[in-house]
């Protein structure tokens, strides 16, 4: 009869919990990447706006309505950048908590796996001892018949 680990279902549960935490962490990291992309787009839009204003000012005075429009667009870029920065701060906190949860689940799984490995090693050594004892008994029986 082969080795059978009595806590195999617990080990599968621990693995699935660890996988779930890992997936949550990956989702948060993907969201962080998306926020960084949005921040880059916002910065680029702000730079482009400033460059356009400088080019228009070089050509002559800017009408009041266009100046007002530029201020509103500039303000919108600043608000979007601030919103993204705040979202990134919140997301970093979530990522830190999720990493801790993932590490905790990973440790729990590793404990059960180590227990399984030790039990398997113990089973293997007992099986080897039984096999050795059978071989010795067989050798003694053969000697007794000779």
The full set of domain ranges for the chain reads: 8-145
pLDDT tens for residues 47-56? 998 888 888 8
Interatomic CA distance for residues 64 and 70, integer angstroms? 10
Architecture of the structural domain at 8-145:
Orthogonal Bundle (1.10)
Q: How many residues does the chain have?
A: 146
Going residue by residue through the chain, which has 146 residues, state the pLDDT in tens, using 9 for 90 and above. Answer: 688 888 889 999 999 999 999 999 999 999 999 999 999 999 999 999 888 888 888 888 878 888 888 889 999 999 999 999 999 999 999 999 999 999 999 999 999 999 999 999 999 999 999 999 999 999 888 888 86
CA–chain centroid gap for 109, Å, is: 16
C-alpha dihedral (71, 73, 76, 77), degrees to nearest 10:
-110
Contact assessment for residue 100 and residue 21, using Cβ atoms and an 8 Å cutoff: no
Structure tokens at 99: 């990493």
- What is the pTM (predicted TM-score) of this model? 0.75
């Amino acid at each position: 009869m082969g080795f059978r680990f009595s806590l195999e279902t617990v080990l599968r549960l621990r693995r699935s919990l660890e996988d779930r935490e890992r997936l949550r962490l990956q989702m948060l990291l993907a969201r962080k990447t998306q926020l960084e992309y949005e921040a880059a787009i916002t910065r680029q839009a702000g730079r482009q706006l400033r460059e356009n204003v400088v080019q228009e000012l070089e050509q002559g005075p800017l009408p009041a309505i266009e100046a007002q429009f530029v201020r509103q667009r500039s303000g919108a870029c600043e608000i979007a950048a601030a919103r993204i920065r705040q979202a990134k701060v919140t997301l970093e906190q979530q990522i830190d908590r999720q990493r801790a949860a993932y590490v905790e689940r990973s440790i729990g799984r590793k404990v059960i796996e180590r227990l399984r490995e030790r039990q398997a090693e113990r089973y293997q050594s007992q099986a080897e001892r039984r096999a050795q004892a059978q071989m010795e008994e067989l050798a003694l029986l053969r000697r007794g018949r000779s």
